[in-house]
Amino acid sequence: MADQEREAGRVMLEMRGVSKQFPGTLAVDRVDFKVKTGEVHALMGENGAGKSTLMKMLAGLFNDYTGEIFVDGEPVKLTSPTLAKQAGVAMIYQELSIAYNRTVQENVFAGQMPVKGKIVDKHALRDMTIDVLKQVKLDGKIDPATPMKNISQHESQLIEIAKALKDNPKILVMDEPTSSLSTEEVGTMFDLIREVKAKGYALVYISHHLQEVFDIADRVTVLRDGKLIDTCNVKDVSKEALVEMMVGQKMSDFYKRTDKAIGDVVLDVEGLTHYGFVHDVSFKLRKGEILGLTGLAGSGRSELGRVIGGIDRMNAGKCRIDGSEVKTKDMCNMVKHGVAYLTENRKTEGLALRLSARDNIFSAIIPKLSKGPVYLPKSGDGVLNELYEGLNIVPRDKNLTASNLSGGNQQKVLLAKWMATKPKVLILDEPTRGVDVGAKKLIHETIEKLASEGISVLLISSDLPEIVSLADRIIVMKQGHLIGELTREDGFDESKVLLASNGERSVFSVEY
């Protein structure tokens, strides 16, 4: 029965004309998607192309999608996580859900302890766990009774896969499973995936890494702007062709670029190291320059921004602003020196959602608005109005609780908060993540304007069109290292940046 089911080449998952509407956008637009048994099917696309929406649809997180989904020829409704599980879809997320102070075996069989009478059968549990671990080749390497907190990230990921395989799913969906792994670990992971594939599972592999897709996938489906572009055999496409499919024919002058004067070095970073995250990074940022910083997920790009912003610790290295060295240990100090770091996590770190927009915008400049110890928020009203006008934040009611604003306006409030500090160096980490098109355009224009006013911008972004159109220069990180630089003189476009962040060294103007 099982063998029959797993016979290679059967269509296991079929999505027919599925769509998902979000307020304002059609995130997935009539996509057809077929996965066969015994294949690794890569799902690719830029940020916002609809990959994650499609994946969430499979996980049963939406109950209002349209279109039809068939699993093994049977029509199914994936409107809740339980239904998705029952239908045989298993998900492995980027962020693992692990009970760290329980053992491996308890994590694998959570809620399904084997019992003998009323008593949990520890031997059976152990044997079953070893069986499960065998599938990921961890039997013998890991004792099932080891606490999860002593297991490395890599092995945790494998255990998570084993846990998913245990339920004998029909379709296994993996979201960026290699983003936090080293090269050797990726190799092990791929061996495992090949083995799982050979057993006749249908695998969906979501990734940004081009090389990985060529290494592991059999077929690839590319999405762009919520639409299906093409599905083809990996053997039949070249890297360049794939990149073109992902990027498409974009209007290169979507954002107006004005030629501007770039001044002296403002920020000079030398040998910056944060153990385990960022390693020996040096670069210079000039006055009025927009320096793009990109890299794949887990490359350390955000961590670099956090260290310069003064949130995370700098273990070694120097950071100079206007030629004089500053201590990055204290964010308060960095703000005083004119460095502002806009976080990528708007909802958890960026805005205090229960406070008003006014309180949020003033939160970084409370000392500036004070005379001695007395806080005078009224003195900031002028700046506040200016920011509201400049960024067109609606509604204009400044006492509105931040949680009642739309995503785009929340992001504008966050930007306003850091603009209010009048920074010299503005570090923007994914400044347009999860915002609507109008807000995105306005934020881009604002960044341009700020640069022309002489503010140096470090733009950390994985949004290719954004970084290509805005940046004067792009530096690229991979696995914690700065690996190269692309300059505007030599020219760069989206495909070049995409190749660069995948570690393709030939495209760099300057290689480190």
Minimum Å gap between C-beta 378 and another protein is: 12
Minimum Å gap between C-beta 125 and another protein is: 9
User: Judged by CB, which is closer to another protein: 421, or 487?
Assistant: 421
How many CB atoms lie under 10 A from the CB of residue 473?
22
Instruction: Kindly identify the residues of this chain, within the stretch 91-120, that bind another protein according to CB under 8 A.
Output: 97-102, 106-107, 110-113, 115, 118-120
Minimum Å gap between C-beta 501 and another protein is: 17
Instruction: Kindly identify the residues of this chain, within the stretch 350-389, that bind another protein according to CB under 8 A.
Output: 350-355, 359, 362-364, 366-367, 369-370, 373-375, 377
Binding-residue total with another protein (CB under 8 A): 84
- Exposure string (b/e) for 134-156, b if CB count within 10 Å is 16 or more? ebbebbeebebeeebeebeebbb
Spatial separation of the C-alpha atoms in residues 268 and 279, rounded to whole Å: 16
Instruction: Kindly identify the residues of this chain, within the stretch 58-87, that bind another protein according to CB under 8 A.
Output: 81
Among 316, 389, 392, 511, binds another protein (CB under 8 A): 316
Is residue 332 near another protein by the rule CB under 8 A? yes
Spatial separation of the C-alpha atoms in residues 420 and 418, rounded to whole Å: 5
- CA distances to 258, 292, 489, 492, 497 from 485, rounded to whole Å, are 22, 10, 12, 10, 10
Minimum Å gap between C-beta 73 and another protein is: 27
Indicate left, alpha or beta for 407 from its phi (over 0: left) and psi (-120 to 50: alpha).
alpha
Among 314, 498, 499, 507, binds another protein (CB under 8 A): 314
Nearest CA to 393 out of 356, 430, 448 is that of: 356
Is residue 401 near another protein by the rule CB under 8 A? yes
Spatial separation of the C-alpha atoms in residues 103 and 372, rounded to whole Å: 54
What are the residues whose beta carbons fall under 8 Å from the beta carbon of 284, sequence distance 6 or more? 265, 267, 268, 269
How many CB atoms lie under 10 A from the CB of residue 487?
14
- CA distances to 72, 133, 156, 174, 183 from 160, rounded to whole Å, are 24, 10, 6, 11, 19
Among 32, 330, 490, 511, binds another protein (CB under 8 A): 330
Instruction: Kindly identify the residues of this chain, within the stretch 412-471, that bind another protein according to CB under 8 A.
Output: 417, 421
Question: Which of the stretches 33-41, 145-153, 204-212, 248-256 binds another protein when contact is defined by CB under 8 A?
Answer: 145-153
Minimum Å gap between C-beta 204 and another protein is: 19
Spatial separation of the C-alpha atoms in residues 512 and 509, rounded to whole Å: 10
Spatial separation of the C-alpha atoms in residues 402 and 417, rounded to whole Å: 12
Site string for another protein, 271-310 (x = CB under 8 A): x-x-xxx-xx-----------------x-x--------xx
Site string for another protein, 5-44 (x = CB under 8 A): ----------------------------------------
> Does the CA dihedral 465-466-471-474 come out positive or negative?
negative
User: Judged by CB, which is closer to another protein: 249, or 399?
Assistant: 399
User: Judged by CB, which is closer to another protein: 74, or 184?
Assistant: 184
Minimum Å gap between C-beta 6 and another protein is: 25
Among 45, 177, 317, 465, binds another protein (CB under 8 A): 317
Nearest CA to 461 out of 435, 432, 482 is that of: 432
Nearest CA to 108 out of 95, 93, 89, 127 is that of: 127
User: Judged by CB, which is closer to another protein: 97, or 324?
Assistant: 97
- Asked if 28 contacts 15 with a C-beta cutoff of 8 angstroms, the reply is no
Minimum Å gap between C-beta 207 and another protein is: 18
Is residue 187 near another protein by the rule CB under 8 A? no
Which residues lie across from 293 on neighbouring strands? 460, 475
User: Judged by CB, which is closer to another protein: 102, or 199?
Assistant: 102
